[in-house]
Chains A and B, each alone.
Chain A
């Protein structure tokens, strides 16, 4: 008989072992390639979940803009690693730079004027609006020709400014910085809102970010995607030709093709694991520190914490920026793994709400819980389809193979995962609101 006391005491190790077992099972049933692909995305999801957990679990901030920050991280991947397109810079660089200067100038003008007109109750918004409008008109005059010039340069291959041509690993911290910067601005203006308004505001802002990325082709190539990002790990083709690798594959008794693809995936997994280990160590240390104690006190009783002299707004802003930076990092890692940047791929269901489910299921407030949630939910997100297909095939074996009902059911199996995730979330909220690995009670 399974001893429940033993389980309670060793929840985390047991559940992580189960998770590892599931991945190994996939390795045996489907293939090791599939298993490693899932593992890599599990790791990235876990990092995103860590970021959300920092905001929600530590501080109770409800950020539904995960998708936007992840996309900013992905954008960093493009801007750092792709080679610069010098023709584009020559054609439209000046226009873009002057456009950026005008934007900066407009923002500065607003910030300078605002304190002076704050007391004029009636016209203040109109004055600011006027400044922004004239800045925007000026921007269009200088910016548009530059954009047109850039986008017309070899649009099927480039048609954008390109990046800096640096190694893609540099993009990871840069992605975190991008997300942190935007989070700072968002936090400054939106963190004062009530929890559910903050949710809607962040959801809206993340959509705006995606819209920007999709439509500003001079920067991101928009819906045309950026392909062929450089890799931090060796290419399969090179491995297959290397003598040492052929020997290695031989000694393992594997075909060189399979071995090379698995080797590459393992390299990624290793890199990601290093990142996740560092992040987990940092988060755990932070959570144990006086700072973590203060965050929890703010989360549990804002008024009391404020009365004790804690600057609640400032701490909220800090934790919001920190969590978003982690999400940005994960976003950059995801583009690295994909080797391409596809703005259309950013859907709130997959990049925002699914990450939330991971945190809730894993255990909000517990870093290990968030990581585990990331693993479990991603695993089911991917495997629900084959499992659903298998389930329906088994259930309908008695039916006529040509029956339209059976065909419809089989077709619908692909959507089982939405339903499954929904049911998992609802059941968890009701029966285990603390998640798989609950937050440790501290005195």
Chain B
């Protein structure tokens, strides 16, 4: 019984939140990795791209809500997401045309691209705050819980409850679908293969007649779509605040780098590694110990490796350690 209680406890506070947050990070990291693999720079504007996509989705969601269109019990935002993706794709392509293309044609160094992306980050950050404001936006609707902790307790007779929020389920399922689609695209379509070829060896790809402009275009489309999905899912699950997305940038970079930049599988693994390390290191194991220890044991401390305040710092620390010990990431040698 105690073991079951422990499993439920960990499931409720570690596994479900970890899978959710990990999926959000993985989707974000996939975008960063694609830009890095094909366009060869670290895109500092990715957090803002996510915020932009989420913002458009929110605006459309409000419109739908006002006209009373909904897909109960699912959140309306899912219905609005395709529009969000479309607008973000157009915006990103516009940015590429106006900003990045010039530097690409001049074969600027990755550092210059990085600085350019900082400029784009400033611009988009301002634009987002200008349109939707810096405050908190709530756009979740639909059923809140799929599985309530109290109901779970009643049915199973356990002390601990397991709850599953709608947003968590939606996040995990959407992430699986999107990742499956992405891998199918990269591995089984002509365009996807040409993208991988371009990423692997630019000159060789050009020689075999691959159109670089098309590859770049497709990459931006994919990146914008991934960013919008990641941003919307994160906003649904936590809440939408423009500055939070800027803070999300580092965990996302950490995920991409831990898995090996330019490697989509690595990005996904990295996302989950970062998410679970954050949770595992800051989780208070007091109740777990109490269940497993002999009856009557008393503990004063929370049995925590790190204070909850240090949650975000965990990802930075992992990032720095990986960069120092193994900068190529866990899955080295394989790109896109």
Residues in A lying within 8 Å of B, measured CB to CB:
62, 125, 189-190, 193-197, 199-201, 203-205, 207-208, 211, 214-215, 348-349, 353, 356-357, 360, 411-412, 414-423, 425-426, 429-430, 433
Report whether A419 and B133 are in contact in the complex, using a CB–CB cutoff of 8 Å: no
Q: How far is the CA of A360 from the CA of B119 in the complex (A)?
A: 11
Report whether B327 and A193 are in contact in the complex, using a CB–CB cutoff of 8 Å: yes
Within 8 A of A (CB), among B296-336: 307, 309-310, 312-313, 316-317, 319-320, 323-325, 327
Which one, A194, A201, A417, contacts B320 given CB within 8 A? A201
Report whether B131 and A422 are in contact in the complex, using a CB–CB cutoff of 8 Å: no
Interface membership of chain B positions 139-150, coded 1 if the CB is closer than 8 angstroms to chain A and 0 otherwise: 000000000000
Q: How far is the CA of A348 from the CA of B129 in the complex (A)?
A: 17
Closest beta carbon of chain A to B99's beta carbon, Å: 6
Interface of B is mostly: helix
- Closest A residue to B124 by CB, please name it: A422
Report whether B130 and A416 are in contact in the complex, using a CB–CB cutoff of 8 Å: yes
Report whether B126 and A200 are in contact in the complex, using a CB–CB cutoff of 8 Å: no
From B14-22, B157-165, B170-178, B250-258, the one touching the partner chain is B250-258
Q: How far is the CA of A430 from the CA of B130 in the complex (A)?
A: 25
With A204-B316, A418-B126 as known contacts, state yes or no: A196 contacts B120, CB within 8 Å. Answer: no
Q: Does B3 contact A (CB under 8 A)?
A: no
Q: A194-B327, A196-B41, A430-B99 are in contact. List 6 more A-B contacts (CB 8 A).
A: A190-B320, A203-B253, A353-B118, A356-B118, A412-B129, A423-B123
Count, chain B residues at interface, CB 8 A: 45
Of residues A125, A197, A348, which shows the largest number of chain B Cβ atoms within 10 Å of its Cβ? A197
Residues in B whose Cβ lies below 8 Å from that of A204: 250, 253-254, 316-317, 319-320, 323
Report whether B120 and A195 are in contact in the complex, using a CB–CB cutoff of 8 Å: no
Report whether A430 and B102 are in contact in the complex, using a CB–CB cutoff of 8 Å: yes
Residues in A whose Cβ lies below 8 Å from that of B130: 412, 415-416, 419
Report whether B123 and A426 are in contact in the complex, using a CB–CB cutoff of 8 Å: yes
Residues in B lying within 8 Å of A, measured CB to CB:
41-42, 99, 102-103, 109-112, 114-116, 118-127, 129-131, 133-134, 246, 250, 253-254, 257, 307, 309-310, 312-313, 316-317, 319-320, 323-325, 327
- Closest A residue to B132 by CB, please name it: A412
Closest beta carbon of chain A to B180's beta carbon, Å: 29
Report whether B121 and A208 are in contact in the complex, using a CB–CB cutoff of 8 Å: no
Report whether A417 and B323 are in contact in the complex, using a CB–CB cutoff of 8 Å: no
Closest beta carbon of chain B to A131's beta carbon, Å: 15
Q: How far is the CA of A335 from the CA of B26 in the complex (A)?
A: 39
7 CB contacts below 8 A, A to B, read: A62-B114, A200-B253, A208-B316, A418-B122, A422-B123, A422-B126, A429-B115
Report whether A426 and B41 are in contact in the complex, using a CB–CB cutoff of 8 Å: no
Q: How far is the CA of A208 from the CA of B254 in the complex (A)?
A: 13
Which one, B41, B109, B125, B133, contacts A422 given CB within 8 A? B125
Closest beta carbon of chain A to B57's beta carbon, Å: 19
* In the complex, the 5 A-B pairs of residues with the closest C-beta atoms, listed nearest first: A418-B126, A422-B123, A419-B126, A422-B122, A425-B119
Q: How far is the CA of A430 from the CA of B250 in the complex (A)?
A: 27
Residues in B whose Cβ lies below 8 Å from that of A422: 119-126
Q: How far is the CA of A330 from the CA of B99 in the complex (A)?
A: 33
Report whether B129 and A426 are in contact in the complex, using a CB–CB cutoff of 8 Å: no
Closest beta carbon of chain B to A404's beta carbon, Å: 13
- Closest B residue to A359 by CB, please name it: B115
Closest beta carbon of chain B to A355's beta carbon, Å: 11
Residues in B whose Cβ lies below 8 Å from that of A433: 112
Which one, B42, B112, B129, B312, contacts A415 given CB within 8 A? B129
